[in-house]
A and B are shown apart, each in its own frame.
Chain A
Amino acid sequence: MKTQIFRVLYYLMVGVFFGIVMTKSEAVSWFRIQEMFHFKSFHMYGIIGTAIGFGALFSYLIRRFKAKDLTGTPIYLEPKAPHGKYNLRYLLGGILFGMGWALTGACPGPVFVLLGHGFGVMAVVILAALVGTKVYARFHDRLAA
């Protein structure tokens, strides 16, 4: 019971950390996203590039030293499963998501962070995203080739 509360608190704090970083980095800003898509500043590319660079280092170290998590289980960095010959779903799904990202100026994390900023309109975005998820679920069998 005690450990369960600790786990919940841990993930909650990770989320708080994420929300603060997303805000302070200005990655939640609709303006910053348009700036990025028009190549008007290095800012967003710097953030994403640095995150990938250090992320790659951490991922490498985890694999290299066969790191275990706190429960003693070896960490498995799950690969992205190939789908079909050309992995088309990643590209097509990516294009659709990219359009939504530019329209709202927010990817899924920032949508929730912005809700915390007090933008009630993000509730509309979340509901619409759930409808999108539901429609995907309906066609999953046919799309999941």
Chain B
Amino acid sequence: MQALVDWISQPWPWYVSGFLISLMIPLLALFEGKPFGVSRNFRHLCAAILPGKDQYLKYDWQRVGWWNLTILGGAVLGGWVATIFLVPDQLHLSEAATHLIQGWGVSVGKALSPTFFMDTNFVLSAKGLLVFGVGGFLIGFGTRYAEGCTSGHAIAGLSNLQFPSLLAVIGFFIGGLLVSWFVLPVLFIN
């Protein structure tokens, strides 16, 4: 029993994590034929909160999206469960990445998330607005324009051999590489 607890408390190897993530596809398909795709929840939430006059947001979001929004609520709960019961923070970042990111002026410890996530001064600064405000905006706008995110395109779409998903994933990397190579290295240096 203790061995099991110890094993669960450790970070999981990539092949275990990857396999478990792939289970989302049969867990949703075999139950009620649902697709795996997280970002469409932004459309449901927007239809619920800010429908306005836009046709795109005029649909029965409760009927179409209740199950996916329920998963989203579960994901919040799962994050909480994992941090309380399963992981004392113990990031296993590579040496190379640790050096690189420390060179940007961001401290790297054992925590999964950087300390600036909790730094109110940073969050309310222009840089914080860029990271979280502009970043969030691009996530919302980009996933609707591309009709999917990492789950719907990279995992479900590529698994189902969808060419549009390959284009989307290539896009994810073009955008991500641009920001991670040319914006973030200079962003945190005062």
A contact residues vs B (CB 8 Å cutoff): 7-8, 10-35, 37-38, 40-44, 46-59, 62, 67, 69-71, 73-83, 87, 89-109, 111-119, 121, 124-138, 140-141, 143
Contacts and interface: CB of A to CB of B under 8 A. Distances in A.
A13 B171 CA distance: 32
B27 A14 contact: yes
A116 B12 contact: no
A97 B54 CA distance: 22
Interface residues of B, number: 121
Interface string B107-144: 01000111001100001000000111111111111111
Closest 4 CB pairs of A and B: A15-B74, A19-B78, A94-B171, A50-B18
Interface in B62-87: 67-68, 70-83, 86-87
A39 B132 CA distance: 24
A54 B113 CA distance: 28
B74 A11 contact: yes
Interface of B: 11-12, 14-15, 17-33, 35, 38-39, 41-43, 45-46, 49-50, 52, 54-57, 67-68, 70-83, 86-87, 91-94, 96-97, 100-101, 108, 112-114, 117-118, 123, 130-151, 153-165, 167-181, 183-184
B135 A128 contact: yes
By DSSP majority rule, is chain A's interface helix, strand, loop, or mixed?
Answer: helix
Contacts, number: 508
A133 B46 contact: yes
Nearest to A70: B31
Given A12-B74, A137-B57, A26 B79 contact: no
